[in-house]
Amino acid sequence: MYSFENFKEDLSHGGEANFTYKGLIYAIVRTGGDNPLDGWYYCDPTKSHEEIVFYDNMSSLLDNSIIDGRSLKEVFNSDEIEDITIW
């Protein structure tokens, strides 16, 4: 099973991810370089564009993002992720 710890490790190398949960595609996107908003974005398809959440670092995003009322860790460790792409 692909666990939350696997996801965390892979994300620290790749920097961005898409994954499918209950038929919806979620995204974690990192900005950088000269961008004044350098950081991490958690994109939840059940939320509006204005509700995309910004985090200063990956750990904060992973610790605080919620899917369907559950933490990312709980969702990943439940083996309910259908697809995952990290780049």
Q: Greater confidence, 19 or 39? A: 19
**DSSP per residue, 15-72:** --EEEEETTEEEEEEEE-TT-TT-EEEEE-TTS-GGGPEEESSHHHHHHH-EETTEEH
Give the Cβ contact number of residue 45 at 10 Å: 11
pTM of this prediction?
A: 0.86
Q: Kindly indicate the confidence band of residue 33, based on its pLDDT and cuts at 50, 70 and 90.
A: low
Domain that holds residue 71: 4-86
Q: Is the pLDDT of residue 14 over 70?
A: no
Query: What is the number of domains present in the chain?
Result: 1
What is the rounded distance in angstroms from the CA atom of residue 38 to the CA atom of residue 70? 26
Q: Is the pLDDT of residue 5 over 90?
A: yes
pLDDT of residue 35: 62
pLDDT of residue 1: 82
